[in-house]
Structure 1
Amino acid sequence: MSHDDFNFEPIRGLPEALPEGEHILWQGRPSARRLAMEALSLPWIAGYFAVLALWRVGVSSTQLPLAQAVWHAVPFLVIGALCCAVLMGLAFVQSRATVYTLTNKRVAMRIGAALTMTLNLPYTQIGTASLEARKSGTGTIAFELMGDTRLSYVMTWPHVRPWFMARTQPALRCIPNAAEVAEIFAEAAEIRTAVPQVTRGAPAAIAAE
């Protein structure tokens, strides 16, 4: 029997039902393969163990025939394969636990495999958005927040723009069809920010002559 770890959600990816007038435009999650490569540095880890294996063969070949020296690389290749498998597993778990949502009013990000949380980013609090797309179609959309809004880089990683730590930029990381999603976001944000926002404040003073 299949089991949904997030069956407590009234709507997939959201902690509560949408208020009246708000509706979902798009939902998605990161590509596990791209997340492993970009966020968890899978190619660099694999390359590191490959270099170690070549170095071990080179050193051993000075004292042994090459056919025997090659076997000295096996432990490094095995350990490297195990490390890469662990990284792919972590990326798969992160991808499965993540749901990105665009509504007509906000960006919602359910993130975290061990400690799950949902970020709500109203369009009116997003200053700019940047798209980094790849030829495969996957890409990352990062959001620069306005005002004094601060997010923890560590708590929101890997769903952030890499290396922007002073002003953490939450991001829809490694999503398929990133360019199309960026268009959906841009259109929804433009419509939303064009609507006047009414805020509650102190009544204006009336001056008497």
Structure 2
Amino acid sequence: MSHDDFQTEPVRGLPENLPEGERILWQGQPDWWALTKESLSFWWVAGYFFFLFAWRTISGAATESWIDSATAASFFLVLGGFVCLLLIIMGLIQAKTTMYTVTNKRVAMRIGAALTVTLNLPFRQVVNASLGLRRDGTGTIALELTEESGFRPSYLNTWPHVRPWKMKNTQPALRCIPEAKKVAEILSEAAATAVSHPVVEVTSNTQHAAGHGPVAAE
């Protein structure tokens, strides 16, 4: 029997119901295998332990038989297999507990395995979005935030859902999502539409009398 750890959410992937006029255009999760390979450097780790195995086997063959040397070096293969298994489990958990949402007004990211948080990124706070596409169709969409937004998520607290190595100006990212090009097109069209619409802030009559009239933002 399947169990949804987030079944108490009013809307899947979101901490509250959508405001009037907002609608979901796309929802998805990272591809767990792509996330494991990219964010957890799976093949680098596997290659490192294989290198240790090969190095121990070759160096040991100088004083013992190849079979005895390889048998002694197999410890590195066992240890490497255990570490790789841990990475796979971590990748599965990260993917399962993540939900990315694109609406006609924002990008929402429910992330975190131990401590779950939701990042709400209105399109007016996003100055640029870049797509990193891979041969298998998965990809990462990184969101560059405006300085005026005043919001800079912690790199460590939001990893791996950030653009790699952008630690000073952290860029939240939809990591390793399937059909990334299609999602990027949806996001681009929604952002262009949302930003092209003016936002009007209505002030009180008292403020107007004092010389602070309605302000049209962007």
TM surpasses 0.5: yes
Q: Helix, strand or coil for the counterpart of 2:200?
A: coil
Aligned to 2:129: 129
Q: Quick one: distance in 2 between partners of 1:205 and 1:15?
A: 39
Aligned to 1:110: 110
Tell me the alpha carbon deviations over residues 154-179 of structure 1, each in whole angstroms, 9 at most, x when there is no partner: 11100000000111000000001000
Q: Quick one: distance in 2 between partners of 1:125 and 1:68?
A: 62
Structure 1 residue 74: Cα displacement: 1.1
Aligned to 1:49: 49
Q: Quick one: distance in 2 between partners of 1:73 and 1:182?
A: 47
Aligned to 1:24: 24
Tell me the alpha carbon deviations over residues 41-74 of structure 1, each in whole angstroms, 9 at most, x when there is no partner: 1111101100000011011100111122111121
For 1:170, the aligned partner's letter is: P
Structure 1 residue 199: Cα displacement: 2.9
Q: Quick one: distance in 1 between partners of 2:23 and 2:43?
A: 39
| Alignment of 1:174 onto 2:180 | no
Q: Quick one: distance in 2 between partners of 1:139 and 1:198?
A: 36
Structure 1 residue 151: Cα displacement: 1.0
Deviates more, 1:44-53 or 1:143-152: 143-152
Aligned to 2:89: 89
For 2:68, the aligned partner's letter is: Q
- Unpaired segments of 5 or more residues in structure 2? 213-218
Q: Helix, strand or coil for the counterpart of 1:137?
A: coil
Residue correspondences, number: 206
For 2:211, the aligned partner's letter is: A
Normalised TM-score (structure 2): 0.91
Structure 1 residue 200: Cα displacement: 5.0
> Residues 1-209 of structure 1 correspond to what in structure 2 (within 5 A)?
1-146=1-146, 147=148, 148-200=150-202, 202-203=207-208, 205=211
Q: Quick one: distance in 2 between partners of 1:78 and 1:166?
A: 38
For 2:38, the aligned partner's letter is: E
Normalised TM-score (structure 1): 0.95
Tell me the alpha carbon deviations over residues 95-146 of structure 1, each in whole angstroms, 9 at most, x when there is no partner: 0000000000000000000000000000011000000001110000000001
Deviating above 4 A after TM superposition, structure 1's stretches of 4 or more consecutive aligned residues are none
Deviates more, 1:58-67 or 1:181-190: 58-67
Tell me the alpha carbon deviations over residues 158-208 of structure 1, each in whole angstroms, 9 at most, x when there is no partner: 0000000111000000001000000000000000000001235653629xx
Aligned to 2:215: none
Q: Quick one: distance in 2 between partners of 1:199 and 1:52?
A: 63
